[in-house]
Amino acid sequence: MLLEVEDLHVEFRTRDGVARVLNGVSYRVSAGETLAVLGESGSGKSVTAHAIMGILDTPPAFVTRGSVRFHGEELLSASAERRRSVRAEGVAMIFQDALSALNPVFTVGFQIEEQLRVRRGMSRAEARARAIELLDLVRIPAARQRVREYPHQFSGGMRQRAMIAMSLALDPEVLIADEPTTALDVTVQAQIMDLLAEIQRERQMGLVLITHDLGVVAEVADRIVVMYAGRIVEQADTVSLFRSPGHPYTAALMRSLPRLDSKGTALETIRGLPPSLLRIPSGCPFHPRCPRAEDVCVSDVPGAVRLGFGRTSACHFAEEVVGGFGG
């Protein structure tokens, strides 16, 4: 298996107390597969990615339990040097807001080339040539000129393309894309998603696509994990998840999507707010907002229920939910 996360626990030790940000997250990605990680802000999608990369802010963030394996090799206990060598070369990452994620005082070319010079020992000229190739690959027009420009001289979409080019510099096997289109115009979003999907297909990379946008997920993902309050509440292949969600939270998310076949009716919303991670509700963390919660949901934490076809759902009533009795 290319990349495996197992039972990952992360907590933020803050002045207000310990926030349990991840409470046993497990997922796996194989080569050529696109895994979408879906959830609201604060559900732990990005923290999981940072933990995989080993770029958590410590303190306040601490990994307290779990395992991150790349080609079966445990990364969490690996040396700092080994972890560094996996970054960008094994697992690369692109971030949501390319304007703040790129360094404002260096040219786009410099930021692509420095990895090649530092990690691959290329000369300046070789690295420059490779940077131009990469910008061409992500279809930035006039790459030869633009390689000398600064991030603020790029448009939002071009900046995100430049970031993708940067992440591909060392030919990673896994690419983690953290909300790569959230900061972009809708028209540009589609172009960036197409580009990512195409690159993923050509290179047979594992792609972890972090998003809160169900629409994005539907088009490109092979499998989906849905996160809530630092847990994975459901995981399934894209087709069956959209056909019949196996967790009340997923079901509620879908009902809050605008649909072509239900014009004129008000959109549903999920009542309440995501829980504070300092005080996660007992039992199933979703129970205060769940339309079908019963006593058992308040007292017992649901385990992952197998639903067939490799699906799981962390709900006491998973079978009923997926069976279409609603959530």
Partner 1 sequence: MGRYVLRRLLQMVPVFVGTTFLIYALVWAVPGDPFEGKCGERDCPDAYVAMMRDRFNLDDPLLLQYWKYLVNLVQGDFGVTSSGVQVVDRIVTAFPVTLKLALVALLIEAVIGITAGVVSGLRNRGFLDSLVLVSTLFLISIPVFVTGYVVQLVFGLQLGWIAPTVTTPSFGNLIVPGFVLASLSMAYVARLSRASIAENRRADYVRTALAKGLPTRRVVGVHLLRNSLIPVITFLGTDLGAFLGGAIVTEGIFNVPGVGGLVFRSILTKDGAMVTGVVTVLVLVYLLMTLLVDLLYAVLDPRIRYD
**Residue ranges binding partner 1 (CB under 8 A):** 50, 53, 55, 57, 84-89, 92-93, 95, 97, 100-106, 114-115, 118-119, 150, 152, 166, 170
Question: To 5 degrees, how large is the angle CA 138–CA 90–CA 102?
Answer: 50
Question: Whose Cβ is closer to partner 1: residue 118's or residue 298's?
Answer: 118
Cβ closest to partner 1, residue 151 vs residue 327: 151
Considering the complex, what minimum distance in angstroms separates the CB of residue 66 from partner 1?
A: 20
CB of 118 to partner 1, least distance (A): 6
CA dist., res. 142 & res. 135, Å (int): 9
> In terms of Cα–Cα distance, which of 230, 211, 229, 231 is closest to 221?
211
Work out how close the CB of 89 gets to partner 1 at its nearest, in angstroms, rounded to a whole number: 6
Q: Which one, 83 or 311, has the nearer CB to partner 1?
A: 83
User: Could you give the count of Cα atoms lying within 13 Å of 146 in the half-sphere of its Cβ?
Assistant: 23
Q: Which of 162, 126, 130, 157 is nearest to 146 (CA)?
A: 162
Q: Which is nearer to partner 1, 83 or 231 (CB)?
A: 83
Whichever of 92 and 207 has its CB closer to partner 1, that residue is 92
Min CB(314)–partner 1 separation in Å: 30
Q: Which of 83, 85, 80, 81 is nearest to 68 (CA)?
A: 83
| Closest CB 154 distance from partner 1, rounded Å | 12
CB of 70 to partner 1, least distance (A): 13
- Residue 295 neighbours by CB under 8 Å, 6+ apart: none
In the complex with partner 1, the residue whose CB is nearer, 105 or 266, is: 105
Closer Cβ to partner 1, 85 or 244, answer by number: 85
In order of 251, 257, 258, 303, 323, the CA distances from 265 in angstroms are 18, 12, 9, 35, 25
Q: Assess contact for 200 and 207: CB atoms under 8 A.
A: yes
DSSP annotation of 274 reads P
* Minimum distance, C-beta of residue 152 to partner 1, in the bound complex (Å): 5
The minimum distance between CB 143 and partner 1, in angstroms, equals 19
CB atoms within 10 A of CB 79: 8
DSSP H helices, the chain, are 45-53, 80-86, 98-101, 108-120, 124-137, 143-146, 156-168, 186-203, 214-220, 238-243, 248-255, 295-299, 318-320
Q: How far apart are CA 255 and CA 151, in angstroms?
A: 39
Give CA angle at 276 (7, 177), nearest 5°. Answer: 55
In the complex with partner 1, which residue's Cβ is closer, 68 or 214?
Answer: 68
